Each structure stands twice: as C-alpha cells, then as structure tokens.
Structure 1
Amino acid sequence: MSDPWDGPGGQGTRSRTARVPAQRADEADGAPPPAGGRGAARKAAREAARPRRGTRARRATPVGRGRRALRIAGLCTALGVLGTAGVGWWFYQHLNGNIHSVSLDGKGGTEKADAFGRTPINILVMGSDGRTSKTDCKLGGGCSRTGVQSGSNADVEMVVHISADRSNATVMSIPRDTMTKVPACADSATGRSTAGYYGQINSALQYGPACQVATVHQLTGIPIDHFVKLDFSGVVKMSDAVGGVSVCVTDDVYDTYSHLKLSRGSHTLKGVAALEFVRSRHGFGDGSDLGRTISQHIFLGAMIRKFKSAGTLTDPSAVYGLADAATKALTVDDGLGSVKKLIGLATDVNKVPTKRMTFTTMQTGADPGDSNRVVVGSGAKALFSAIAGDRSLSTGSGKKPGAASATAGAKATASAVPASDIAVTVQNGTAITGRASVVADALTGQGFGTGTTTGNAPSPAATTTLTYGAGQKAEARTVAEALGLPASHLKQGAGAGLTLVVGADWPSGATWPGGSPSASSAPADTGAAVSNAHAQTADQAKTCAKVSPYRTVSLNGVPMTPAQAYAAARGKPDSDG
C-alpha cells in the first residue's frame, strides 16, 4: 500500500523548489518592497500566488515535514509488526501456560507402526467426578458435608482410536460400573499408591491418571499412548466456547439427580445445561450408566459436527475462545502437553469424516456378585481386538456400522457366516493341560459365539481335526482361517455342529504351527465387534437421546419416570431456559 502522502504513481507530488507558504515574496527575491508600503506588498504577493486561468494550483509543503512524516509512518509500521509478533508470542505462551500435563511413564503400552511407518493414536478421555475446587463443588454438588475433596473417580471413560492412515476413528465407552483388576499403581503427584485390587474401574483415577490408563490397557489390551481429563467446569467451558451443542430428546425429561430438565424435541445446550445432559444417567435408557454412554455419544457427535461446521474454525475470536477454554479445561499427558501437539491432534481428528467416526459402548454382562455392577461381556474381546488391530468399524458408505461384515474373505472362501454366529466345541486331544482353553479363548477373542465350549477329547489324538455337520462347511472354513488351520484338517461328520480336536501335532499356541490366519477371516469381522455395542456414527444428526420409560427418578420421595417428573415440576425452569 502506498503512503497516503503519495500520488497515484507512488512518487511524491511536492516540488522541492516550491516556496514555503509563510515566506514573503519580496524577501524571497531580495527585491525592494513595492510602492504603497506593506499593505501593497501583501496584496501583490497574493496576486502573484493566485493561479492563472488554465493552470492548477499545487500546495507546497516543507521538505522537512515530509521526511518527518515518512519516518513516523515507518516507525509505526515497525511497532505494528513487533506488536503483532508480541501478541502472537504472548498468546502462544499464555495457552501453553494453561496446560497441565502428567507423565504416563509408559504404563499404557506402545502403538505399532503400519507398513508405511504410520502409527494409530489411542487416547483415554476421562471425565472426572472430583469436587476438587469450589467451582466443581457448586456444579457437582455433594460438598455440603465434606467440603472441597481431594480424590476423584473417572465417571466417564472413552477410548478414542484414530487410525494410522487417519481415515477412520472409533470411540469406545467403558461404563464406570465395570468391575476389573486394578494393577499396582503409585501417583507421583500425591504419593498415594495401591498394590492392586479387584474393584470398580473408575476408582483407579484415585491413584492418578496414569493408573487409570494402565487399568484400561490391562482390561482391553489396547495400547493407550495419551489421555485427556476434564472436570465439571471443563465441560462447561468447552460447551460455552463452541457456542452451544444441539441435541434432541424423545420425550419430556427431568432427571432429579443431574437436574437436567428439557421438553421433548431439539435444544441447544450451553454451560451448566450441557453438563447436566452428559452427567444424566437416570434420564435416559434404563437409568444405568449404559444409557448415559449413548446420550454422551449423541452429545459428542453434535459437538464434532459443530467443530467441523463452516465458520467455527475460521473465526479468529472463536478459535481463540476454543483454544483458551480447551487449554484451561484439560489435563493431558506430557505427550500432548503443548499447544503445538494439541493442534496436531486436532488436525488429525479433523481429517476423519464424520461418517467414519464410530461411537460404541463396550459390551457388558451382569456381575454375578452385584446387580448394580457389570463385567466384560460377550463380544467385547472382538471389539478390543478390532481397535487394537486398527480396523475400521464403519463402512464409510453411510450404512450402519458393521453392516459390511468382515467375512470379506467370502470372496475367497464362499463363507458368509459372521463369526459371532459360530460356536465351536474345542476338545483337548493332547496330554498338555489347558490346550483346549487356549484355542477357545483365541476364538472368542476374535468374536466367535458365546456358545464356544471346551472339554477333553474321548481319546488321545495325534492329528488335529475340525469336524462339521451337514451344510456347515462355510462355518468350518471361517474357523480354520481364523486359526490358520489347513483345509486338509477339515472333515464332514455325521452329527451337527463344529468340533475342533486339538491333537499332538499342535502342542502350543493359539494358531496352527506355521499357519497364517487370513486377514479377511473372522478377526476382521466388524459385525461381531459392534454386536450389542450400540454403534452409531458421528454424522447421524437426527438421532435423539431416548428418555427412560422406567421410574428411575424420585420427586418429593415419590418414584416416577423422567417424563412424569417433568410434568410434576412445572415450576422449575428448563435447563435451556
């Protein structure tokens, strides 16, 4: 841009020989004053300065003033550049200063690179129930007797997997009521430690984020290389920063525990209302943590769509608000402990289309010892295996996740039977204790049916055989491919079902010696991985949270459904009001 003192060509228009306006004409030439005295002289000077007809007047300006103006403009420009750079550096340092990071100490395992040297990313996202500040006490409640607390549980746990090629992602929720083995842990920040115990999975956070990561890694076998932790106030800050998140509910709902109160239909939730929604476990589903994970997926899907929507990430003020809120709201591992690393992570997530982001909930079963707790259920091992194996759970075509069953090997094997529909009787024909269990566990871990059983063979067997009933050759081939068992070991029997007798020629391991399980066989069966996992993709904008039809809440001591509670509490304003 040219200096405003310059003409169209960018060159100065002032004449270097022009007279200074305050200089008298008579003094400039050294001539005697004209007759008539000073008044006549001034009149003559004015006449001389008046432009003649057909000429254009040009105002003369002192040379010194022009040079001074240029120097001032240059100085201002320099100060502007330095100021901009200074603000940028301050902003970067400010955001870095917001971030609180903790070391994982390698407790989550290590990802393996693919053939092109790319590695997946697995992040454990934790929502803490800690009332560790006055703000969180006010938001979460429960501090009236205890005051500000020191410990916290991971009431929300999601394993976020981003594929090595960044083409797809999976978010797997682990219900907080899951019972599991917590390994020996020590929190470097508080000094609190445990020798290990069997208990509720969310309690591991009391021994630090690294302990929670180690517990999830031990349970699932999935390498966890990063974690992100939010508290109550963090959820409020993030929902405000994105300008609210749009969700819908299938009926009127009033959760008297989380205080969520919404009428049937669509709503944009900010701040405390957003927190009430993601915390609600009595308002949706069956009133347990399982229903809450599904509504949380709906919320996250809407937030991701908001992030990706036009304008959100191109508005400087919005970007600043998001960055400032995110860095203040999060505790992360030291592998994500800088603005540059967090931006890199956001960039990786942004590469994945919403139709290739699959939300699932770990399959669970009832805990035999406590009806209020759950244990890892049938099919969970297949889900864990799919995530650990970097396999996509979405088709990328808009179909329901898992609709394209992984018996893609059907092209070669003519098998169209999902592994989850196949049960195998595994018998030990060797003198080695536990051989049948090793092979059976390998099958169920790859998603084969829960009817898979073990036992001893009627007599010792020198050769391994897989016997199948009439019309079950396709199932037998699926089993054989999953174990790397040659087709020569398959034979049709007189009875029904599949029976695998492990012989002396297979003394160890879960795959046939020298065999290679087919990449297109059961391990890639996404149908088994998402079976009963409540799978949905992030592009499903019309999915509404299903309000519980059960009496999961209580108002004035009277049990009722969330919809009944809404009607009975007409005087209480709605959460988005």
Structure 2
Amino acid sequence: MSEVSHRRGSTGKGGRAAVPAARRPQPSGYRSGGSGGGGRDKSGRRTWPRRLAITLSALILVVAGLGAAFYEHLNGNIKGVAISGGGAEKADAFGRTPINVLVIGSDARDTAADCKLGGDCNDGGANADVEMVLHVSADRSNATVMSVPRDTVTQLPSCTDSKTGQQVPAQTGMINSALEHGPSCQVAAVHQLTGIPIDHFMMVDFGGVVNMSDAIGGVPVCVDSNVYDTYSHLKLAKGTHTLKGVSALEFLRSRHGFGTGSDLGRTVAQHIFLSSMVRTLKSAGTLTNPSDLYGLANAATKALTVDTGLDSITKLLGFADDLNKVPSDRITFTTMQTEPSPSDQNRVVIAPAAQNLLSAIANDQSLTTGSGGKSAAAGSTNSSAPTTPPAVPDAQIAVTVENGGGITGRASDIATALVGDGFSPQTGSANAPAPTTTVRYPAGKQAEAQAVASALRIPSSALHQDSGASGVTVLIGSDWSSGTTYPAGAGGGKPAPADTKAAVQGANAQNANSSSCAQVSTFKTVEVNGVPMTPSQAYADSPDIPNSAP
C-alpha cells in the first residue's frame, strides 16, 4: 500500500526534490502552452488523460488480482464440516435471529507440533478441552459466552461418527468426549444438554492457539500471585504479562494453577484471557489495519475448522461484522452452573440453578443493560435500595401437575421430568380435563411459577394468578400431547422469561470490559519432585525453571 501511494516528486523525507519544469524531459507528443493543460498527438486528441486512464485501469486490475488471490488463499485455508442435531433458532418480531456458535478447543495430537505442545502423544482420539457457547443476540446489541465445564457428566445423544460413518449409540459420558466422533456429535451433545440451539461451530487445536495469539501480538493478563502449574508448564510471577505463542496456550490450558485446581477455575481464567483479547483487538485497531488484519486472518483461517455455514471468507466476515457490532461492555462471560456428581466427586453434573442461565440464552435475553452493567433484573447494588427476596431454590418448589389432555400418563411424565430437573420430590400428578395448558399460582408465588414455566418452556401468556390455588399447578391441556417441554409455537405466546438475576448466580459472570487478575490456587494442586504443593510454593521451589513470559 505504501509503495503504491508514494509520490516520487515529494519533497518530504525520503523523497526526491521536484525537477524544475524547464529541465523536465518532454514526452513524445507534448506541446507546451496547449489549451486545457493537456498535450495532444498529431490528430489533436489529448494523450495524457488517455494514458492516465490506461495506467489506472492497469493498477485496478493488478490490485483486483491481488485481492482475488488473497481471497482464494484465505478460502483455501478454511476447513468446513457439515453438522446436524443442533436445533434451529427462532426469529424475533422483526425477523432477526440470534447466532449461537459452539467454540471448541480440541486436545487432539494429530500433528507432530500438537503432539509436542500437548504431550501424551499416544493417547489417541480427541476431546473438547474447551467448550463455550457464544450467543449473539438477534438485534446484535449484546452477547453471552457460556463455558460448559468439560468434566460435566450427562446423557450423550446418538450420532453418526464423522470418520467411520457408524451410528454411535446414546450413552452416559463426559460432555467433552463426544468430540471423539466428530464436531457434529459434539454440537448435538451440547444442544441436548443445554437446550440452546447451536447454529455453528468453530474448532481450534493447540497449534492454532499458538499461531493466533502470535498474530494478535499477545494478550495482557494478570495473576494475583506467583504461579507454576507443573502440568501445563505455565510459570508467571505475580502481576501483568503479555502472553502469546506457547505461553498463551499454557495459560489457557492450566487447570491446576487457578481456583481450586479444577476445570471450573480454568474456565474463569479463560474468560479473563478472552476479555483482555477483545479489549486488545479493539484498542489496537487490529480489525481496521490491513496489514494486521491480513496476519490475523491468515492465522485464523489456517487454525480453524468450522461448519459449512461459516466455511468461506464471505461468511466469516459476515459473522465477524455481526460480532463487532456488540460493544465490549455488553459481552458477558459465564460458566454453566454445576454440582458434584453423586457417583464421582471428580466429575460434575448440571445444577438445577443452571436452568435460568440456559433459558436466558435460549430465549435471547441479555445479561447486561444498555450501559453495560448487570441486567436490570439483577436489581440495584445500592445498599439503601429496597432488597428483593431471594429466589426460592427449585428443590423447594413442589408442583402439582394435572392431566387435562386425556392421554394416559402425561401428568406423571411431566412431574417426573420436573423432579429430574431439580424440583421438589413432593411434585405430584392428578387429572383435570382442559383444552389448553396453563400454569396457576397463588399470590406471592409468581417467581416460582416462572421457574416452572421456564423449565418446561411454557409461554408467559399461560401463567395465571389464582386466589384459589394453594401452590404452583401445571395443567397439561390437549394442546400438549407429547414430550416433556411445551412445543414451540403452541399457544402463540413467548417463552416465560428467565430470571436473569438467578441466571448469573454461581456462574462466575464477568463483563468483557472489566479487567481482573486470575486467582492462583491456594490448594496443593501440583507436585515438584513428587511433593504436593500450591502453585505459588512450586514457583518458589523451582528457580531454575524459566518464566513463561517476562
């Protein structure tokens, strides 16, 4: 660009002084003093405008050729994979639809580089080291990034293995293990677990993280204490460091360095890194600098595997444009709420408290206000403001389910589903004929009724206060003949809104515009020479190990 725009007659630094007019060589056909300031050939036609037009046309062809070559080069980098089983988004009143992308960090060691970076080269297969659902609202005013802890045990759906073409039966397993059978299986598993439609996916491996962080130029992160994770090899002194390349990968992979040393602490550290990355890209103007953008685009397209809905530069640029419309202070990072698995304390299961977060994302509800603060539903943080009674836990909400559709077993099925979702075991069933589904509740029980309706995907228009009701009652009408969630579009109403205050409780929510330090674990999560110790103790005990970044 600089060579094309450089003016050789410039008298500025680095340019040549202008040649006086009397000494300039006269081009063929040039006649001084001609009218209109242009030379003419023997036929009287002006020559320099024609030559200028020819020159400009040639330049345009060259630039267009470079642009086409660049476009084809980037397109050739992209790897596209078809997906299914992710559900479909519903349009809002203006015909706009949200975007939900499953971002996957693969721990595959398919190349020598990834094998060297990740270690454990002979373990085979691939798991989703990172799983984040990126939700961009239909009006592009806000976004939510929700991490799904990789240690979550759930029921995995049946799917088709992308390599063998064989049908994989439904089974219980860790949510990250579905990737072994291909991205489509992973998308279907996250969709089934969360109920959130997944339109697209983006997957990156170890080497891709290294190359992309290099292309960005590094991401500043802060740690609140000295840390040495002997497993991921991350070693940093207390304070702020700019991480790129291998050090960025070590930080993103560290699960023993932060929090309690589990995957939950790692998701919080990853959110800190990504929040800083968003701020870095926007403040540095990377997305508007052609040279920087080329390097980032080249690294990203080489590193990413995407679905066929994003497998071209045009499609990726469209998605990037949609994402770029969201201000950084309206991007919320969260972690899906979990609790220890009853059968294995080293694993977790989805917690009943997660339902509000999942419903908020599925129903396209923002977790921030227009000014970037917490959702208005979260209430005021002013100590002088009246306090809102805490939400009643789902486990304390007993529901009466009545069968009004005449289909045997319907009320029992729904009651069982509610208990399975974490509602009180006192939930029971009865019979009472009715054509439409409703949720009735007494005064003061609206929040409980909304929680029940949200879990069953019943629209808010079906909620009715009833002075004669003793508790929350779900009446299953003839408009709901099968399944344990209310069919989309039935009744013509919108889904009951999720409680956005409850949505972020226990979800480690943070705003992309706010900076914080990753909290180094105070537990003995690592070992040095076989001796258990905290990451800070390991740092002090390993002076000969170089830091990951200055």
Fold in common (TM above 0.5)? yes
In the alignment, which of 554, 557, 563 is matched to residue 527 of structure 2? 554
Give the C-alpha shift of residue 311 in structure 1: 2.5
| 1:563 and 2:522 are equivalent in the alignment | no
Q: CA deviation at 1:485?
A: 4.0
CA gap of 1:266–1:139, structure 2 versus 1, over 3 A, is same
Q: Is the 8 A contact 2:223 2:517 kept in 1?
A: yes
1:165 aligns with 2:165: no
1:320 aligns with 2:294: yes
| TM-score, normalised relative to structure 2 | 0.80
User: What is the CA-CA distance between 1:73 and the residue it aligns to?
Assistant: 7.3
Matches within 5 A, 1:113-128: 113-128=91-106
The SS at the match of 1:313 is: helix
1:125-161 Cα offsets, whole Å, 9 max, x none, are: 0000000000001111122xx2xx7521111000100
2:426 aligns with 454
Distance 2:414 2:361 in 1: 22
What is the CA RMSD across the aligned residues, in angstroms? 4.0
Larger Rg belongs to: 1
**Aligned match of 2:467:** 490
| 2:517 match: secondary structure | coil
SS where residue 95 of structure 1 aligns? helix
Identity of aligned residues (%): 52
Alignment correspondent of 1:357: 331
Q: For the structure 1 residues 68 and 120, does the alpha-carbon distance in structure 2 shift closer, same or farther, using more than 3 Å as the test?
A: closer
Q: CA deviation at 1:163?
A: 0.5
State the Cα distance separating 1:530 from its structure 2 match.
Answer: 1.4
Deviation at 1:516, TM superposition (A): 8.2
| Equivalent in the alignment of 1:129 | 107
Q: Quickly say closer, same or farther: Cα 1:575–1:462, change in 2 above 3 A.
A: same
How far is 1:531 from its partner?
Answer: 1.6
**In the TM superposition, what are the counterparts of 1:49-60 in structure 2 within 5 Å?**
none
> Is the 1:175–1:289 Cα contact (8 Å) retained in structure 2?
yes
Assess, with a 3 A threshold, how the Cα gap between structure 1 residues 196 and 69 changes in structure 2: closer, same or farther: same
Match of 1:166, SS state, is coil
Counterpart CA distance in 1 for 2:112 and 2:175 is 26
Alignment of 1:84 onto 2:56: no
Secondary structure at the aligned position of 1:547 is classed as coil
Q: Which residue of 2 aligns with 1:500?
A: 472
Gaps of 5+ in 1: 19-61, 407-413, 493-497
Contact kept, 8 Å, 1:6 with 1:13, in 2: the verdict is: no
The partner residue of 2:511 within 504, 529, 537 is 537
Q: Residues 439 and 391 (structure 1 numbering): CA distance in 2 closer, same or farther, change over 3 Å?
A: farther
Q: In 1, are the aligned partners of 2:441 and 2:449 still within 8 Å (CA)?
A: no
Aligned-partner Cα distance in 1 for 2:147–2:283: 25
Once the two structures are superposed, what CA deviation does each residue of 1:13-62 show, in whole Å capped at 9, x if it has no partner?
Answer: 999799xxxxxxxxxxxxxxxxxxxxxxxxxxxxxxxxxxxxxxxxxxx9
Task: Find the residue that maps to 1:301 and give its secondary structure.
Answer: helix
The one of 231, 234, 237 equivalent to 1:260 is: 234
Per-residue deviation, 1:270: 0.7
User: Partner residue of 1:102?
Assistant: 81
- SS, match of residue 326 in structure 2: coil
Q: What is the match of residue 45 of structure 1?
A: none
SS in 2 for 1:267: strand
Distance 1:573 1:454, change over 3 A: same
Superposition map of 1:218-257 within 5 A: 218-257=192-231
Q: What is the Cα deviation at residue 320 of structure 1?
A: 0.5
Give the secondary-structure state (helix, strand or coil) at the position aligned to 2:378.
coil
Give the 5 Å matches for 1:24-103: 77-103=56-82
- Partners in 2 of 1:171 and 1:111 — Cα distance? 17
Question: Number of residue pairs matched?
Answer: 501
TM-score (norm 1): 0.77
Report the 3-state secondary structure (helix = DSSP H, G, I; strand = E; otherwise coil) of the residue aligned with 1:176: coil
Partners of 1:436 and 1:502 within 8 A in 2:
no
Q: CA separation in 2, counterparts of 1:166 and 1:341?
A: 16
- Within 1, Cα distance between the matches of 2:291 and 2:80? 26
Contact conserved, 1:193 with 1:207, CA < 8 A, in 2?
no
Aligned residue for 2:179, secondary structure, equals: helix
Structure 1 residue 472: deviation in Å?
4.0
Aligned equivalents of 1:202, 1:563: Cα separation in 2: 30
User: Which residue identity lines up with residue 334 of structure 2 in the other structure?
Assistant: T
